[in-house]
Amino acid sequence: MMTGYTGYYILIGAISLVSWLVSNQLKRKFKKYSQVHLRNGMSGAEIAEKMLADHGITDVKVISAKGQLTDHYNPRDKTVNLSEVVYNQRNAAAAAVSAHEVGHAVQHATAYSYLTMRSKLVPVVQITSSMSQWVVFGGIALMASNAIGAMGQWVAIAGLAMMSFATLFSVITLPVEYDASNRALAWLKNKNMVTPDEYKGSEDALKWAARTYLVAAIGAIASLLYWALQVFGGRD
């Protein structure tokens, strides 16, 4: 065990750096593929609507959302929300994003197990994620007391349990996002919605988008392990 957890501080720093690099690369990729205009002339909204229709989904609406990187599927009101740029633009990046978000709608319609699991975790994570670290901090502080140290450890363990829900959420998000991208790319290719060059752009853009979730999951796991080591006597 490394004194002072130097290795874990390095790990956390490395993950932050990798996250920044991946995020910047993703922005560059989307900027690049936003210049690859679709030969079919369809906008992101039109592509989303066609993909929904091709999958027999008639109860999901495609709407425009304000802001950038605000694209998402809302299972509660069954809406595919596309940022204004994606909604209106007619390029490989817009095709990739709109088809990916419809991929989530297809998951919902087919009761994809990992999406169902993630949806069930949402209310739990909303409650526990904001307070879990503070509970761990409080428990560790109490552990320093000779009188109530044992109780402090139980408080810290409760905080770790709360933190584990957010970590599980990040891990489950990976198959959900990768599967949505795979559904999107398969549909774009099988329905001849894009040319080979346009397809490569869409595939590359979604690949980098998925990597942001991968880095986030690794970061969540590393953070949970770090605090677990603090609670269970990691300090020499």
- Catalytic residue numbers read 101
Which residue's structure tokens are 């502080």? 141
With tokens 């989307």, the residue in question is 30
Q: How far is CA 192 from CA 13, 29, 39, 40, 45, in A?
A: 43, 22, 11, 10, 17
Phi and psi at residue 110, in whole multiples of 5°?
-100, 10
CA 65 distance to own-chain centroid: 18
User: What are the DSSP calls for 62-114, one per residue?
Assistant: EEEESSSS--EEETTTTEEEEEHHHHH--BHHHHHHHHHHHHHHHHHHTT-HH
